[in-house]
Amino acid sequence: MRGDKFVEILREKLNVLDVTRQTFNQITILVDRNDLPLAVKTLYYDIGGFLCTMIANDERSINKNFALYYVLSIEGGKMNKDDEIDADEKCFITVKTLIPANEPTYPSVTPFVPACVWYEREAYDMFGLVAEGLPDKRRLVLSDDWPENLHPLRKDAMEYTYRPDVYDHRDEPAYDFLRPEGDSVIDVPLGPLHITSDEAGHFRLFCDGDTIVDADYRLFYQHRGMEKLAENRMNYDQMGFLAERVCGICGYAHSIACIEAAENAMGVEVPLRAQALRIVCAEIERFHSNMLNLGLACEVTGNISAFMHIFKIREYSMELAQVVTGGRKTYGNIIIGGLRRDITSDEIKKALVLLDKIDTQITEVWDAVMADKRQVGRWKNVGVLDRQVARDFSPVGPNIRGSGFKRDMRYDHPYGFFKQIEFQVTVEQGGDVLAREAVRYGEIKSAVKTIRQCLELMPNTPINIGENLYQTPFRAEAYAIGYDEAPRGDNFHWIMQGSTQKVYRWRVRAATYANWPSLRYQFRGNTIADAALIVCSLDPCYSCTERVMLTDIKSGKSKILGEKELKAFCQNPKEDITKDIR
């Protein structure tokens, strides 16, 4: 069985308390919390794994403990051509440890595997689990004035019926940015609101003259409570709709990962036709996401003409989505065990025509962009992600493939219909903005080939398992991961089943979450003028919201403004919009 030999290597180094298998390529090993750093480090550096996600879980009602799950993709370190594991040996190994409820501490893995840093900071915010020896103990997800001992994802957090005291934001504690020493170093703030970004993120650039010496950033300005919402109120099909709202661009990819995590935990086999159509929709999403970033990478450097040409082609991808799903966004189509909507032969013909247009025109525009020496000059040798930094922090998607790593879930762990088709990974060696944009262009071309294969080889099976879903044996407390390769990189969703058709714990790890920690190293040595471009080349997704909540500090009452009210206020800022909440 896959992964057995890696488990034996661990047994030789430490005491493995238990081994369980979730799917053919997903294994969990249980270790004592004191052995946690050695277990993760051995899998990460010695055996050749990359950190996919880490899940903290409140299991006091199950086994009277908290639990941590470090999920690693075992595929080889990939620092050179020979440093890769054979395809039939690649697997996911999860290192699990239990944390006593009366002593919620554990030895930090971050000093041994830097990629763990954000996960362990978040585990404290959300669960109150303290990583002893963690180099960076600042808050990550919650604001600095959040009440102590109130951890939102603990199961007893729902028993809190009060809201924290409303405070004057002018008195909010200042975030402790990690500033390098030196009299000549000056602080240059970028954000929280910035003209090149439609979402809030506070970047602090530390500069010597015009050169960025180091950088730090404060994110998580919005938190929508999706994981808690799913645990309390939603069944699996409703969660599919919620997962699509994690990201406005990669919504379909999140829905696939979420539903496949549930299907893996339940042991559901999806019909081949539904598998193929899921991939078609996911690759359509890759079209408009990658073309969006290509266009913005041109716009940030002043090349508005290229931006407009790329967005003209992007419109074909939206038309393609409408042909395949009935809507310009591929939302609302995934259910447990398959899809809601099939595709007809006429729609397949229309889709192939649109694919030809995309394929031809994106090549013409890319060739024109590459012939522009000024444009290439703005991208080349800017924002370099060093290979060792990439190995240490486990970034994903074009960010790591642009630094020479042949990492892609469609290649390393083929899922769904990818097992039936040919697929090539796009890799570039430069590590800079140019390399990352070249990867995105290559993936647009690759997506054309992938969709064509799926449409040509479309199996004539049902698109869902129908009533057979309710004949699937329910396994309480069973858990599994679901994953896919989104445009920004792989998404990982982890689900533990609770009561029938409900989750006990849902953990979402979006691609950008894995890409943020290494960004500070990409800033170093560049100029202030390139900062916005470097962030753009990451293709970040922060968190989206369409409304604003106002709170009157004196009365403590709140009011939510809708779109019309917010627009009216922006047109007439002198209008008193707080009078209704006093």
What pLDDT does residue 500 have? 67
Mean pLDDT of 283-293: 94
| Euclidean distance between CA atoms 440 and 371, whole angstroms | 17
Asked if residues 457 and 423 have their Cβ atoms less than 8 Å apart, the reply is no
Indicate whether 189 belongs to any domain: no
Which positions ≥6 away from 338 have C-beta within 8 Å?
Answer: 270, 271, 274, 462, 463, 464, 465
SS3 of residue 352 by DSSP: helix
pLDDT given at position 471: 64
Up-side HSE of residue 473: CA atoms within 13 Å toward CB?
3
H/E stretch holding 10 reads helix 4-13
Given 139, 158, 174, the domain boundary residue is 174
Distance between CA 340 and CA 240 in Å, rounded? 12
Ramachandran region, residue 171 (left: φ > 0; alpha: ψ -120 to 50; beta: rest): alpha
State both tokens at 152.
């939102």
What are 215-243's pLDDT values in tens digits? 988 888 776 778 888 887 777 778 888 88
What pLDDT score was predicted for residue 198? 63
Asked, for residue 200, whether it belongs to a domain, the answer is no
| pLDDT one-digit tens code per residue, 493-510 | 999 988 767 789 999 999
Burial class (CB in 10 A: 0-12, 13-18, 19+), 141: middle
In the 3-class helix/strand/coil scheme, how is 41-105 assigned residue by residue?
HHHHHHHHEEEEEEEEEEEHHHHCEEEEEEEEEECCCCCCCCCCCCHHHCEEEEEEEEEECCCCE
- At 25, is the secondary structure helix, strand, or coil? coil
Q: Report the pLDDT averaged over residues 314-337.
A: 89
Spatial distance between the Cα atoms of 314 and 528, rounded to a whole number of angstroms: 30
Number of domains the chain is built from? 3
Alpha helices, H only, 219-271: 226-233, 236-244, 251-266
* Rounded Cα distance, 506 and 496, in Å: 7
Q: Are 98 and 163 in the same domain?
A: yes
Would 379 be classed as within a structural domain?
Answer: yes
Bridge partners (DSSP) listed for residue 550: 559
pLDDT tens digits for range 336-390: 899 999 999 999 999 999 999 999 999 999 999 999 999 999 999 999 999 999 9
Structure confidence at residue 552 (pLDDT): 43
- Whether residue 218 lies inside any domain: the answer is no
Greater confidence, 193 or 547? 193
Q: Are residues 151 and 283 in the same domain?
A: no
Lookup: tokens for 101: 């409820």
Res 566 pLDDT > 70: no
> In a 3-state reduction of DSSP, which class is residue 215?
strand
Q: In this structure, is residue 83 part of a structural domain? A: yes
Q: Is residue 209 part of a domain?
A: no
Burial class for 133, CB neighbours closer than 10 Å (0-12, 13-18, 19+): middle
Q: Does the residue 201 lie in any domain?
A: no
Query: What would the pLDDT profile of 392-427 be if each residue is shown by its tens digit?
Result: 999 999 999 999 999 999 999 999 999 999 999 999
Q: Do 14 and 114 sit in the same domain of this protein?
A: yes
Whether 452 and 552 share a structural domain: no
pLDDT in tens, 541-551: 765 433 333 43
On whether both 506 and 566 belong to a single domain, the answer is no
Distance of CA 73 to the CA centre of its chain: 15
pLDDT tops 60 at residue 483:
yes
Q: Rounded to the nearest 5°, which phi and psi values hold at 104?
A: -80, 60
Q: In this structure, is residue 272 part of a structural domain?
A: yes
Lowest pLDDT segment from 85-89, 188-192, 376-380 = 188-192
Tokens of 255: 């829905």
Q: What pLDDT, on a 0 to 100 scale, did the predictor assign at position 418?
A: 95
Residue 90 CA: distances (Å) to CA of 24, 51, 157, 514: 11, 14, 38, 21
With b meaning 16 or more CB within 10 Å and e meaning fewer, what string describes 118-129? bbbbbbbbbbbb
Predicted pLDDT at 191: 73
Question: Do 437 and 562 lie in a common domain?
Answer: no
Please write the tens of the pLDDT for every residue from 119-152: 999 999 999 999 999 999 998 888 777 778 888 8
On the question of pLDDT at 560 being above 60, the answer is no
Supply the range of the domain harboring residue 276. 226-538
Same domain flag for 294 and 351: yes
Half-sphere exposure at residue 3, Cβ-oriented, CA atoms within 13 angstroms: 21
pLDDT at position 158 is: 57
Tokens 């908290």 correspond to 66
Measured CA to CA, the distance from residue 581 to residue 384 in angstroms comes to 50
Specify whether 287 is located in the same domain as 404: yes
Predicted pLDDT of residue 166: 52
CATH number of the domain that residue 132 is part of: 3.30.460.80
Q: How confident is the model at residue 59 (pLDDT cuts 50, 70, 90)?
A: very high
Shared domain check, 167 and 280: no
Q: Is 47 in the same domain as 166?
A: yes
**316 lies in the same domain as 256:** yes
Task: Indicate whether 528 and 570 sit together in one domain.
Answer: no
The rounded distance, in Å, linking the Cα atoms of 75 and 92 is 9
